[in-house]
């Protein structure tokens, strides 16, 4: 798995990115757009929508491929922002942009950027999280615990359980979310409220917050970005089973 990621990164750096950067020299630049909705809240659908509108979209896989999630975890933000790879995109759909408080860092670095927040019923969100990996913590366990306020529990497991061997960056899915509905929905609700509060205070016109179940959400997001979107347009990626 690691070798495959490294090979993909080398191929993309040698072939795809030079062509992409040449394109940037001639293409008009749009303001950057960041989707800061938490996982299982339509992030992939936002990426598809922005792609359909002509944006160059960094997907969830790019966060893994170029170690953006890991650099967030280590607090090495410049490793993310000061690279040609990051600058080749103008829209960003998933991790690490929704990680706790990171939207503040992004907004301070790119004050003219636009931010999209989709939200949903908290219990529906938690049910979707449980379905994602059968109740296991999705992705890297250490990073998941940083995001969802479980580091005390994580560190105790590391100290007391000799069979608990978490990876520093790779997917391992070592813990469970079952029976923790109240904890997770609190974290989710806090994220939504904190995002709205921050932008309301600092830059109201930079954020649009829309219910995931709003049938007019794509038209509203399009208007927010200055794009005319047909009423019948729709996209729904990564549906829960």
Neighbours of 41 (CB within 10 A): 23
Structure token digits, residue 56: 């160059």
Return the minimum-mean-pLDDT range out of 22-26, 61-65, 118-122, 196-200.
Answer: 22-26
Q: What is the pLDDT of residues 192-240, one digit of tens each?
A: 999 999 999 999 999 999 999 999 999 999 999 999 999 999 988 765 5
Over range 170-199, report the average pLDDT: 98
Averaged pLDDT score across all residues of the chain? 91
Task: Return the percentage of the chain with pLDDT > 90, whole number.
Answer: 82
List the Cα angle 149/153/158 in 5-degree steps: 125
Return the minimum-mean-pLDDT range out of 11-25, 132-146, 182-196.
Answer: 11-25
Structure token digits, residue 25: 């020299």
- Residue 88 reports pLDDT greater than 60: yes
Over range 146-174, report the average pLDDT: 97
The reported pLDDT for the residue numbered 122 is: 98
Q: What is the pLDDT of residues 24-43, one digit of tens each?
A: 544 446 899 999 999 999 99
- Residue 176 reports pLDDT greater than 50: yes
The reported pLDDT for the residue numbered 127 is: 98
The reported pLDDT for the residue numbered 241 is: 43
Task: List, in order of start, the domains of the chain with CATH numbers.
Answer: 29-122+185-225 (3.40.50.300)
- Residue 53 reports pLDDT greater than 80: yes
Give the position of tokens 């960056």. 169
Give the position of tokens 């896989």. 61
Q: How confident is the model at residue 19 (pLDDT cuts 50, 70, 90)?
A: low
The reported pLDDT for the residue numbered 26 is: 45
The reported pLDDT for the residue numbered 201 is: 98
Strand order from edge to edge, sheet including 207-211: 57-58, 91-92, 33-35, 114-119, 207-211
Q: Are 95 and 68 in contact (CB under 8 A)?
A: yes
Strands 207-211 and 57-58: unpaired
Tell me the sheet residues that pair with 208.
116
The reported pLDDT for the residue numbered 237 is: 72
- Residue 152 reports pLDDT greater than 70: yes
């Amino acid at each position: 798995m690691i070798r495959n990621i490294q090979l993909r990164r080398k191929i993309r750096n040698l072939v795809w990115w030079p062509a992409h950067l040449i394109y940037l020299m001639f293409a008009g630049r749009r303001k950057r757009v960041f989707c800061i909705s938490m996982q299982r809240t339509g992030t992939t659908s936002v990426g598809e929508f922005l792609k359909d509108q002509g944006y160059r979209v960094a997907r969830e896989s790019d966060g893994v491929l170029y170690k953006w999630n890991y650099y967030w975890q280590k607090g090495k933000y410049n490793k993310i922002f000061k690279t040609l790879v990051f600058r080749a995109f103008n829209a960003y759909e998933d991790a690490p942009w929704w990680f706790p408080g990171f939207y503040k860092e992004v907004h301070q670095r790119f004050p003219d950027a636009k931010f999209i927040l989709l939200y949903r019923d908290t219990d529906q969100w938690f049910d979707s999280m449980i379905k994602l990996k059968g109740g296991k913590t999705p992705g890297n366990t250490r990073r998941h615990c940083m995001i969802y306020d479980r580091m005390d529990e994580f560190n105790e497991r590391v100290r007391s359980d000799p069979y608990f061997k978490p990876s520093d960056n790779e997917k391992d899915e070592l813990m469970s979310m079952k029976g923790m509905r109240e904890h997770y929905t609190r974290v989710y609700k806090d994220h939504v409220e904190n995002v709205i509060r921050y932008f309301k205070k600092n830059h109201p016109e930079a954020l649009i917050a829309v219910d995931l179940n709003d049938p007019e959400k794509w038209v509203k997001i399009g208007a927010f970005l200055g794009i005319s979107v047909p009423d019948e347009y729709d996209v729904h990626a990564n549906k829960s089973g």
